[in-house]
Amino acid sequence: MIVAFSVAPSGTPADAPAGTGGDASVHTAVAAAVKVVRESGLPNHTSSMFTEVEGDWDEVMDVVRRATEAAGRYGSRVSLVLKADIRPGHTGELTGKVDRLERALGTLGE
């Protein structure tokens, strides 16, 4: 399966240093989430709005959970947006889908 997800914390974290108001930038929280994904060893790709990760259900969902928790340390709540392509028996689709798209684009207008 491939999961595309994004996380965004909001609110002030319970353990925010006094006087900071929990003003950590969202990109810091997103970096913490992406670090979890990259350290997982699963195939992944990060763009300006989503991080995609590929693997089996249990390992991908565990990575998403841990990434969400990492981002959640930067706020009192966290928003998670998730989209999944569940296709048993297929691997390498993180790049395979894009390769097929590029080939299709190359044949348009011929």
For residues 8 and 69, the answer to whether their CB atoms sit within 8 Å is no
> What are 23-37's pLDDT values in tens digits?
557 899 999 999 999
**What does the domain layout of the chain look like in residue ranges?**
2-109
* Helical ranges in 5-92 per DSSP H: 26-40, 57-72
Q: Are strands 51-54 and 44-46 parallel, antiparallel or unpaired?
A: antiparallel
> What are 68-81's pLDDT values in tens digits?
999 999 999 999 99
Confidence band (pLDDT; 50, 70, 90) for 2?
very high
For residues 57 and 67, the answer to whether their CB atoms sit within 8 Å is no
Q: Judging by beta carbons within 10 Å of its beta carbon (0-12, 13-18, 19+), is residue 8 exposed, middle or buried?
A: middle
The pLDDT assigned to 109 comes to: 72
CATH architecture, range 2-109: 2-Layer Sandwich (3.30)
The pLDDT assigned to 20 comes to: 47
How large is the average pLDDT for residues 82-104?
93
